[in-house]
A = this chain, B = another copy of it.
Amino acid sequence: MTEYTRDDFERLIRDRSNWGRWGDDDEVGAINLITPEKRAAAARLVRSGRSVSLSMPFPTIPAPDNPRPAAHFMRINDRGSGAGAATDYYGVEYHGLICTHIDALSHTWDANGMWQGWKPEETITTNGARRGGIQNWRTGIVTRGVLLNVPASRGTAYVTADEPVHGEELRAIAKAQGVTPEPGDCLVVYSGRQHWNAENPPIGTRPVRPGLHASCLEYIRDIDCALIAWDMQDATPIVGGLPWSVHAAIHAFGVAIIDNCDLEDLAQACAVEGRHEFMLVVAPLIVNGGTGSPANPLAVF
């Protein structure tokens, strides 16, 4: 595996940026690759009708890897005559390492700016993002999903901190699995987070984290996917002290990211179904100016 340096990273970001690719005013990014035809093709992948959730539970329980638990409060409303209703309040800072969520194009930036070069100081307000809000994906994401199973390829239970997943490894896994990622796909990378958590200090409790190496960014750009979904995130520390690693796909390529998936059921379903492609659906909440949304991504076979 060739060394991947900070220079490689910065060259990639610069030379293969998607800024302007879908017009100068675009706020949709690589989700543009999901055309009606792409959606229809994704739906044609459904045969058995098996449906699988890629989501962890809404993180209401305090834990070392959940330092700011989501809020869940109940209210009981008496309607007389023995009738009633129970309602609840949900509150969550969903970004971070514990809540399954999708990142919008307003979520990240580096010194060169946000997606399309937007300046964060002009774009982000305390009332929400002026551009790239999650509402730009209001009609949802329905596309082909492709699972790459790293532990299965390695013959281990999970990715370890000292051996992050590299881009070339993903390329090789796809080939070995006999699946070809295509433009507009959702790349789903399974690294075995739940198995890691069972045997190690859970993801989110240590500064060193297993996950994907910055070199995956090039692979992501090569396959021209619209979004990625993963259980582990960018491995840390990041090569060359960069502020962002794979998450740079958001501001550089306009690619959406679904963080903190639980991919156990999906990996198993792929095994049972004997294929690694499926229809993937994400339906983010339409929060004007929101930088993402908690989500329950679905894979349907």
Contacts and interface: CB of A to CB of B under 8 A. Distances in A.
Q: What copy number does this chain have within its complex?
A: 4
Interface in A226-254: 243-244
Contacts of A64: 64
Interface string A25-60: 000000000011111110110111111110111101
Interface stretch (A107-115, A162-170, A214-222): A107-115
B296 A138 contact: yes
Contacts of A243: 79-81, 83-84
A135 interface: yes
A287 B60 contact: yes
B49 A46 contact: no
Contacts of A200: none
Contact of A291 (B37, B87, B108, B284): B87
Nearest to A71: B91
B89 A286 contact: no
Given A87-B292, A90-B90, A142-B300, 7 more contacts: A36-B51, A39-B51, A58-B287, A68-B69, A73-B126, A87-B96, A87-B291
Q: What are the 6 tightest A-B residue pairs by CB atom distance, in nearest-first order? A: A82-B111, A36-B49, A91-B91, A83-B243, A43-B46, A73-B73
